[in-house]
Amino acid sequence: MARLLVQLKLRQLTNALRSSTGAKVSFIISTTFAVLVAFGAFVALALMRGTATSVDLTTVIFTVFAFGWLILPIFVFGLDSTLDPATLQLYPLRTRPLAVGLLAASATGAWPVANVVGLLGVTVGLARGGLGVLFAVLAVALQVLFCMVLARFVTTGMAGLLRSRRGRDLGVFLVIPLFALYEFFAQVVPRVAAEGKINAASFNGFDAWMRWLPPGLAAHAIQDASDGRAGAALLRLAILAAVIIVLGWLWIRSLRQALVTTDTSARSSQVRGTALPLAGYGRAGAVAARYWIYQRREPMSLAYWALAAVIMAAASASAVLQKPQHPAIVLTGAVFGAAFVGGFHANAIGLTGPPFVYEALALTGRRHLRSYFAGESLVLAAIGVPILTALCFGLAAAAGSPLEGIPAAAVALAALGASLGISAIFSVVAAYPMEKRAGNPMPQPASGSGAYRFAILGTLVATAVAAIPAILAAVFTSTVPEPIRAPVLLVCAAAYGLALAVAGVRIAAGAAEQKLPELYQVALRTRL
């Protein structure tokens, strides 16, 4: 059984290389990252040799790896068929050999090997002496086994959920904190570390409670053994082994249950009212109502807003932390934020997907299509304006001149109008299908569609160019008294933005009228 499941896992991995170009690229990137993680973790752990905080940092790294094992199977649930017990339900399999086989499958592949190799850095960093090295090897083996059993326990227990719509939604929502963490470490931490506010001493005592978690037990066992306390080290590893046994028992029980239980996850969501809002505003109102509901109920839409907010916040924090500060950072943040609102939505039809058929059948003439793009743009403006205003005033306050938030908000209004108009045009002239690939809950441009680079970059650049008059107005009126400057600037910038948005909507509607069947075919090829 173990051999069969390992072969299945290997076949899945090798098949990726024979599959589409996208799958091949994903496989190569994933394997390259696994090698980099193995090398990076080994070196990072090895370099801790002799440092006072080596055990704390080792505990942190062991915990991060365990967290990765806990989270990643949720993303690759559809990619690795050994993770879903439903795929094995039809076969007459005994639970114990199956569990051993599944664990062997977990240990197969570049990432499990990268885990073992990377964590073995403790044999150089934390371990001292023969006993230390011996316990380091044992601790790494138990740590990796704990990670595998934990991942199996979680995915088996959550299999019904992960297979369902709610599970797919959960995957999308998990992208947000992970992306926020990535942005934090990529944008904020390096600047804070460069100022000396984060250093090795910051981790002192960090593991006060983490030492009692399984990864902490493994790390501290190595230190105990290195300090000659073999009994304490053995006790820690024994506790870790006991945790693995209990977790394994719970997993096998859950697996036994999953193999004989039909999935009856029929939980469904009910909405409060039955009526769509914005009655009395014609087709534009209907489109806006549907789009507004989607911004609230569709995880992908929420994720786009959250990702835009994370990018804005990380870029702003990064700019504010920069010394010396340039006075233009507030205005730059305003334009950048507005451009992203349009950039994320510059493929309205591809993002809508096959349901666009109901719109394509009903909205045929240019006037109807204007209503369509106007309805969507109104919703984006209704959400984008408060977010951008908060961003402008937040940035201005952080930069020490809160009043600068007013001209920045004016520039943001102009840029947002431009961004929405341009995004509507790109939605038509550079429409492309989207697809969800296993392992990534966020939709990606479908294989072979290069238009997305053109659409996203085009929206960002064109927004920046279109915002220049508003930026110049903000800069050249800086000497005008604020009570006069603020309202005039805000009204003029809003009018300019509105004019650009309306122009964009009209151009988009004219273009869409000519190619509605082609746009529908793009929507039809979208797989969300």
Partner 1 sequence: MGVPGTELPRWREERAAPGGPAITVRALRKSFGPKEAVAGIDLTIAAGSLAGLVGPNGAGKTTSLSMMTGLLRPDGGQIVINGLDVWEDPVAAKAIMGVVPSEVRLFDRLSGAEMLEYSGRLRGLPAAEARSRATQLLDVLDLTADAKRLVADYSTGMRKKTALGCALIHNPSALFLDEPLEGVDPISADVIRRLLTRYVGSGSTVLFSSHVMELVEQVCDHVSIIDKGRIVATGTTDQVRGGKTLQQAFVDLVGPRASGEEGLSWLGSSSS
How far is 517 from 479, CA to CA, in rounded Å?
54
Q: How far is the CB of 462 from partner 1 (least distance, A)?
A: 29
Q: Which residue has the tokens 């290195």?
A: 226
Binding pattern for the stretch 148-167 against partner 1, x by CB under 8 A and - elsewhere: -----------------x--
Per CB under 8 A, the segment of 24-32, 312-320, 441-449, 517-525 that binds partner 1 is: 517-525
Closer CB to partner 1, 237 or 424, in the complex? 424
How far is 480 from 29, CA to CA, in rounded Å?
54
237: CB partners within 8 A, 6+ apart: 135, 138, 139, 142, 217, 218, 221
Closer CB to partner 1, 186 or 362, in the complex? 362
**Cα end-to-end span (Å), the chain:** 35
Closer CB to partner 1, 282 or 487, in the complex? 282
How far is 511 from 516, CA to CA, in rounded Å?
9
Residue 122 interacts with partner 1 (CB under 8 A): yes or no: no
Q: How far is the CB of 365 from partner 1 (least distance, A)?
A: 5
Closer CB to partner 1, 38 or 516, in the complex? 516
Q: List the one residue from 271, 323, 450, 476 that touches partner 1 (CB under 8 A).
A: 271
Q: How far is the CB of 516 from partner 1 (least distance, A)?
A: 8
29: CB partners within 8 A, 6+ apart: none
* Number of chain residues interacting with partner 1 (CB under 8 A): 42
Q: List the one residue from 92, 130, 205, 280 that touches partner 1 (CB under 8 A).
A: 280
Q: List the one residue from 126, 175, 341, 360 that touches partner 1 (CB under 8 A).
A: 360
Helix (H, G, I), strand (E, B) or coil at 417: helix
408: CB partners within 8 A, 6+ apart: 330, 331, 333, 334, 392, 393, 395, 396, 474
Closer CB to partner 1, 160 or 285, in the complex? 285
What residues from 230 to 269 belong to the interface with partner 1 (CB under 8 A)? 266-269
Binding pattern for the stretch 164-203 against partner 1, x by CB under 8 A and - elsewhere: -x--------------------------------------
Q: List the one residue from 190, 365, 386, 402 that touches partner 1 (CB under 8 A).
A: 365
Buried b (16+ CB within 10 A) or exposed e, 342-362: bbbbbbbbbbbbeebeebbee
How far is 448 from 346, CA to CA, in rounded Å?
18
Q: How far is the CB of 177 from partner 1 (least distance, A)?
A: 22
Structure tokens at 161: 């959920």
Helix (H, G, I), strand (E, B) or coil at 127: coil
Q: What residue ranges bind partner 1 (CB under 8 A)?
A: 165, 266-276, 279-280, 282-283, 285-287, 289-290, 293-294, 297-298, 353-355, 357-365, 516-518, 520-521
